[in-house]
Amino acid sequence: MRLEPRAHVPFWLNIAAPVAAVILAFAFCALLILWTGAPILESYRALLVGAFGSTFAITETLTRAAPLIFTGLAAAVAFRAKLWNIGGEGQLYAGALAATYFGTGLVTLPPLLMVPFLFLVGAVAGGLLLLLPVILKLKLRVDEVVTTLLLNFVVILFANYLLFGPWKDPLAMGWPQAAPIIDEGVLSPLVPRMRLHSGLIWAVAFAVFAWGFIRFSRWGFQIRAVGFNPEAAAFAGMPIGATVLRTALLSGGLAGMAGVCELAGLKGYLTLDLSPGFGYTGIAVAMLAGLHPLGVIAAAIFVAAIYNGADAMSRAMSISNYLADVLTATSLLLVLASVLFVRFRPRLR
Amino acid sequence: MPEVDETVPGGAGVKQVPHRDPVLRLDGVTKHFGSLTANDAVSLDLYPGEILALLGENGAGKTTLMSILFGHYVADAGHIEAFGKRLPAGSPRAAIAAGIGMVHQHFTLGENLTVLDNIVLGTESLWKPMQSRAKARRKVVALAEHFGLAVDPKRLIRDLSVGERQRVEILKALYRGARVLILDEPTAVLAPKEVETLFKTLKTMVAEGLSIIFISHKLNEVMAVADRVAVLRQGKQVAQIPIAEASKESLAQAMVGRPIAPPKREPLPPGEIVMQMAGLSMSGAPGQTALQELHLLLYGREILGIAGVSGNGQAALAALISGLRLPDGGSFELLGEAVKTTSPAQMQHRGVGRIPEDRHATGVVGDLSVEENLILEASGDRRFCDLGMLRGRVIRRYAKDLIDRFDIRGADPTTTTRALSGGNMQKVILARVLSAKPRVILANQPTRGLDVGAAAKVQELLFEARAEGAGIILISEDLEELLQVSDRIAVLYQGRLSQPVAAEDADLTALGLLMSGHGEFERYRREAGHAA
């Protein structure tokens, strides 16, 4: 087989290729299910029902998708500028820490203002956290992959210290958790008796915002230009440093908002299991979405559905729910590989 | 497979082939890419001991044809015979086994490996690596000596000059027993001196009975080195004639399909001084030659040609005018104002238009659309940007207008810039730069790698800017272009600039001597010192 460059990429192929890749991923994982001895179709049916089969399933999937949209956007925006922000997890906790600091009684505003206020302080905390490694990158050329990754542990251990020490809620019967967010700051539920909260609406709104910003604003234009070709962008007079700093604030801010979304929407108070790795999964979401902010919505729902569905499948068919990780990883690899076929035409012979 | 330890490939093989049988025969080769016909029933014969030049504009299908020959692509119709045997389609391995060697325009060498490693890469037996290595070294040294391809097998590729790397590529092909060598635009990356050396090597090789296909769009070189020439235009072969029957004019016309009149430089009275350098020194960035005691006056309505072999300070001079660096000493004035601080954006505001040397790396952002590249320098302009948002409709109209005015072909505003040919990409840069009405223009190798038609268009656009009053610094290695386009010419040699001479009084020999640092250079420089 050989590959020839395509002169024109038909639009449908941009959609069809990732869909085909995902189908292939499911086919591949069918082998794993087969290995465990469970019936394939029934297992996948259990997965589908677990993800979308009832109001409860749908709302659970969407609840899980909301923080993934934020962290996915954080990665997508940064990667567009070739800023390799692997620190989404740390920024998520930074956002949650800031929201806990301001939202547990220090500041009280009416609900209409309190929620935006918490998102704001969360975003500022996440953005400022990313600023540090980015300044090191710009001034001293320190590789941001390493620094952002390691900062995750710094932030999480700092949260650990706070939760076992000064911030420990005396009413929590000794559990390491902070005081709850005040009622004014809690995100309102969207569906009665379900956990789904208005954080999803915030997430979708910011995905649309990020798309418009990248696509239509001058700063977004600069982010794209600097990401594609920093040398040409600099030669054309674009401010490289300022662009990268803006990207960092936006990316870190979005990841910080993921922390606020989980804290004020779902958990209510800060614990150390606030995020099961949303910051890292956000990177996979962004790559699945081809770094497109609107695609991030779909990719986040897809990944959330797989994780939720795999839990249900695991219960019903007694297959390990690690299959969710394998499915996500295989989908990601195959979607990345499918990009090759979008750009090149495979020819047999 | 040809015999591997044959010291001189070609010699033994060719004797078995009667002299006038072609070593290579392409018969009716056709290739479509979607709706584009890249090659349309092209037939070619290559005889032993000849250099066949394959001439054509960018996008005429030269590289596609050679890729089919070498098995990178599979032709939709037609077939290829090598040494009388049909070549299986789509197999580079079969092409190599049949004695075809290819030297790509962009080298395919491992930077962190030695010359020898690169040459033997992929030919070594897995079982006796050490033994075959000593043998390989002997063979490489013998080949290098025989064909005058001096290069030390022990050196690392990353320490080699471009010319040396090319020699390694040629050695690599010869080592694999190539009897037909395809060179894709081999002179594009070479300095004039290296071109001469290369041509000498090529002549030696054909004298040994090898055959060479020389892909180029430079007429001078084709006339100088080829025995026969085949011309491609829009995928069709439009001529195949002995070089003795060809003339530069007839070949240019065959390439472009219409008579080409190089734009004429109308004499214009020079305007005021727009740029001035006096005693200017600047240390070079790593790998760049420093500028020493530069004296330079640039007037409006003139083109000042800067001749010289690359690497003699052109990069530093361009960085200075582009706003990337500041001089260490001496004075630098633009439109009567001393330049104390600099940046690309500041230079734009001062009225400097900059056409960079490397269009792909510095000129355009290939992944952005044509319209986005057209406003790359002006995205903050009130016309295009309102409250931080880009005004899409205005930009679309503006881009359409520039695409028409600058004759950017194969592009609408949303086309990805990477998809454009080199000439059209250069027109995008010119459109962007010239539409800002600059008073000073830096044109760094603006026609390098462009075909005749596109180069003529670029020169025409520079003339238009000159007529509107701009002063233009034209950096080029092509003396003939400089003599045709410039009002005055100065030579840059090891960071020093000679006294400019009027193009009418300039003399190829004297300029050539200056370019190699000989002759009157020192005297010119001292005069320049007195003049300022």
- Say yes or no for a CB contact (<8 Å) between A7 and B388: no
* Tens of pLDDT, residues B406-459: 989 888 898 889 888 888 899 999 999 999 999 999 999 998 878 778 888 999
A218 touches chain B (CB under 8 A): yes
pLDDT value of residue B88:
87
Q: What angle do CA B425, B429, B432 make, to 5 degrees?
A: 135
Confidence of residue B150 (pLDDT cuts 50, 70, 90): confident
pLDDT band at B2 (very low <50, low <70, confident <90, very high): very low
**Residue B9 pLDDT exceeds 70:** no
Better-scored residue on pLDDT, B63 or B232: B232
Nearest CA distance, B92 vs chain A (angstrom): 12
For the cut 60, the answer to whether the pLDDT of residue B8 exceeds it is no
pLDDT in tens, A8-65: 677 788 888 888 999 999 999 999 888 888 898 999 999 999 999 999 999 999 999 9
A232–B36 C-beta distance less than 8 A = no
Residue A250 above 70 pLDDT? yes
Side by side, which strands form the sheet with B36-46? B36-46, B24-33, B77-82, B85-86
Supply the pLDDT for residue A1.
65
Judge whether residue A192 has pLDDT over 60. yes
**Residue pair B26/B80 in contact by the 8 Å Cβ criterion:** yes
Of residues B36, B72, B348, nearest to A7 (C-beta): B36
Q: Which residues of A touch B90 (CB under 8 A)?
A: 2, 349
Q: Which of A193-207, B247-261, B318-332 has the weakest average pLDDT?
A: B247-261
Whole-number pLDDT of residue B93:
86
pLDDT tens digits, one per residue of A107-127? 999 989 999 999 999 999 999
Residue B35 to chain A, least CA–CA distance (Å): 9
| A247: in domain | yes
Q: What share of chain A in percent tops pLDDT 70?
A: 97
Residue B12 pLDDT greater than 70, yes or no:
no
Please tell me the predicted confidence (pLDDT) of residue B334: 95
Picking from B192, B22, B170, B10, the residue whose alpha carbon sits closest to that of residue B104 is B170
Query: Is the predicted pLDDT of residue B376 greater than 50, yes or no?
Result: yes
Strands A344-347 and A2-5: antiparallel
A240 has a chain B CB within 8 A of its CB: no
**How confident is the model over B468-502, as pLDDT tens digits?**
999 999 999 888 889 999 999 999 988 889 889 99
**Cross-chain residue pair A349–B364, CB shorter than 8 Å:** no
Number of domains in chain A: 1
CA distance B224 to chain A (A): 35
| Any B CB within 8 A of A222 CB | yes
Whether the Cβ atoms of residue A270 and residue A55 lie closer than 8 Å to each other: no
Chain A: nearest CA to B297, how far in angstroms?
25
Work out the mean pLDDT of chain B and round it to a whole number: 85
pLDDT band at B84 (very low <50, low <70, confident <90, very high): confident
Does B1 have pLDDT greater than 60?
A: no
Residues from chain B contacting residue A349 (CB–CB below 8 Å): 74, 89-90
Return the higher-pLDDT residue of A260 and B55.
Answer: A260
Query: What does the pLDDT read at residue B130?
Result: 66
Q: Is the pLDDT of residue A103 over 70?
A: yes
Architecture of domain B22-99+179-192+205-256: 3-Layer(aba) Sandwich (3.40)
Rounded Cα distance, B461 and B430, in Å: 8
Residue of B nearest to A220 (CA): B389
Map tokens 């089919």 to a residue. Answer: B68
Q: Which residue of A has its CA nearest to B348?
A: A237
Most A CBs within 10 Å: which of B325, B370, B379, as the mutation test of the A interface? B379
pLDDT tens column, B263-310: 888 888 989 999 999 999 998 777 778 898 899 999 999 999 999 887
Give me the domain span that covers residue A113.
Answer: 67-285
Would you state the CATH architecture of domain B273-362+437-531? Answer: 3-Layer(aba) Sandwich (3.40)
Give the closest-approach CA distance of B497 to chain A in angstroms.
25
- B370 pLDDT higher than 80: yes
Quote ipTM for the complex.
0.87
Q: Is residue A120 part of a domain?
A: yes
Q: Chain B closest CA to A114's CA: distance in Å?
A: 28
Q: Residues of B at the A interface (Cβ-Cβ below 8 Å)?
A: 33-36, 72-74, 89-90, 322-324, 343-345, 347-348, 354, 356, 361-368, 372, 376-377, 379-380, 385, 388-390, 392, 419
- Whether the CB of A193 is below 8 Å from some CB of chain B: the reply is no
Domain membership of residue A297 (yes or no) is no
Chain-chain contact of B90 with A2 (C-beta, under 8 angstroms): yes
Residues A238, B376: C-beta atoms closer than 8 Å: yes
Q: Is residue A11 included in any domain, yes or no?
A: no
Asked if A217's CB is within 8 angstroms of B89's CB, the reply is: no
Count CB pairs under 8 A between chains A and B: 82
Give the per-residue pLDDT at B219: 84
Within 8 A of B37 by CB-CB distance, chain A residues are none
Rounded CA-CA distance A291/B499 in Å is 55
The C-alpha atoms of residue A199 and residue A188 are separated, in whole angstroms, by: 8
Q: Does A4 touch chain B (CB under 8 A)?
A: yes
Report whether pLDDT(B531) > 50: no
- The single-letter DSSP state of residue A276 is S
| Average pLDDT for A318-322 | 84
The per-residue pLDDT for B388 is: 92
- Determine, for residues A4 and B344 on separate chains, whether the beta-carbon distance falls below 8 Å: no
- Among A2, A216, A232, whose Cβ lies nearest the Cβ of B363? A232
For chain B, which residues make up each domain, given as ranges? 22-99+179-192+205-256, 108-177, 273-362+437-531
Residues in chain B: 532
- The percentage of residues in chain B with a pLDDT greater than 70, rounded to a whole number, is 91
Output b/e per residue, A56-82; b: 16+ Cβ within 10 A. Answer: ebbbbbbbbbbbbbbbbbbbbbbbbbe
* Full strand arrangement of the beta sheet holding B329-334: B291-299, B273-282, B329-334, B337-338
Can you give the pLDDT at residue A5? 67
> Could you write out the DSSP letters of every residue in A169-225?
-TTSTT-S-PPPPPGGGSPPBSSTTSS-BTHHHHHHHHHHHHHHHHHHBHHHHHHHH
Q: Which of A12-21, B129-138, B223-232, B343-352 has the lowest mean pLDDT?
A: B129-138
Examine residue A62 and state whether it is found in any structural domain, yes or no: no
pLDDT at B3 over 50: no
Tokens, residue B401: 């207008």
Q: In the predicted model, is pLDDT for residue B390 greater than 90?
A: yes
Chain A hits for B348, Cβ within 8 Å: 237
Q: Contact A340/A18 with Cβ under 8 angstroms?
A: no
CA–centroid distance for B274 within its chain: 30
Contact B90 A349 (CB under 8 A): yes
In chain B, % of residues over pLDDT 90: 39
pLDDT value of residue A179? 92
A213 → chain B, closest CA residue: B389
Q: Do A2 and B73 count as a contact with CB atoms less than 8 A apart? A: yes
| Among the listed residues B495, B492, B499, the one whose alpha carbon sits nearest the alpha carbon of residue B283 | B495
pLDDT digits (tens, 9 = 90+) for A132-186: 999 999 999 999 999 999 999 999 999 999 999 899 988 888 888 999 999 999 9
Compare B276 and B34 and report the one with higher pLDDT.
B276
